Amino acid sequence: MVVVTGQNKVSGNPDDAMSSSDAEDDFQEPATPTATQAGQALPLLPQQFPEVVPLNVGGMYFTTRLSTLRRYEDTMLAAMFSGRHYIPTDAEGRYFIDRDGTYFGDILNFLRSGDLPSRERVRSVYKEAQYYSIGPLLDNLEDIQPLKGEKVRQAFLGLMPYYKDHLERIIEIAKLRAMQRKARFAKLKVCVFKEEMPITPYECPHFNSLRFERSESETKLFEHHCEVDVSFGPWEAVADVYDLLHCIVTDLSDRGITVDHQCIGVCDKHLINHYYCKRPIYEFKITWW
């Protein structure tokens, strides 16, 4: 290697002068990889796949056609086996996907012939379809139970913007009370009311006029917070209090929380004249073990 440098003024001390060998040592060329090192590198893209593809998905073995994996081009599987990405293989030469393979068979069955899973497997297969970005499968699953019913339920719960926050509050309060008391379970009061106005059989005929003709001062008299831990409502829909209670219990149960509830009365707070709150109060019992 030829190094071109400017002329340096010779100093009086010969030890200060840099020898040509020292200069060459400071400008070494990068070492060229040996054949052994090159052989250890990942194979050059694009990667070639056989027509029949053996798969190892999280330790579960599958075999399918390459065209099946590429059925829908906008999916993760089509991208993985397009040849643009390197897919590692196991000791037996199967292409390895680091994902639980429990429901991968359902994914392949849809890609092969459009078959949909049984109802009890729909939710889990839906999560896998989300992971692999299989849009047509997601659309089909959303149109069958239980996901179709879940869309209707979520439309109702969308009327209550703080629904999830209130669920978290129930869980947190129950956990703190159980820990403080070193108890197996904890109880808390929950108010679930549909109507904004106090409703009794006597008040029903006057409800509409009260609702739309109240003055600002009267409105404040009707606004109050019941003495409970968590309050849900109001909302305007056909679904009633028992429907919302079902949603609350279902969502808590889905998180592994054992919950029992019963109505223990109503809020009797006096508001104005002969009007009382009358919102139903429920006792929730959260059992931790």
Q: At CB < 8 A and 24+ separation, what contacts does 217-221 make?
A: 218/272, 221/271, 221/272
pLDDT one-digit tens code per residue, 235-250 = 988 999 999 999 999 9
At 161 the pLDDT is: 84
> Considering the chain, what is the average pLDDT of its residues?
82
User: In the sheet that 60-65 helps form, which strands lie side by side, from edge to edge?
Assistant: 60-65, 52-57, 95-97
The Cα-based distances of 48 to 53, 138, 267 in angstroms read: 11, 29, 71
Architecture of domain 52-144: 2-Layer Sandwich (3.30)
Where, residue-wise, is CATH 3.30.710.10 in the chain? Answer: 52-144
> CA 224, 228, 230, 236: dihedral to nearest 10 degrees?
-50
pLDDT one-digit tens code per residue, 18-34 = 444 454 444 444 444 44
Higher pLDDT, residue 226 or 230: 230
Partnered with residue 85 across adjacent β-strands are: none
pLDDT one-digit tens code per residue, 146-184 = 999 999 999 999 998 899 999 999 999 999 999 999 999
pLDDT range class, residue 14, cuts 50, 70, 90: very low
pTM, full prediction: 0.66
At 286 the pLDDT is: 96
Whose CA is closest to 91, among 70, 64, 66, 61? 61
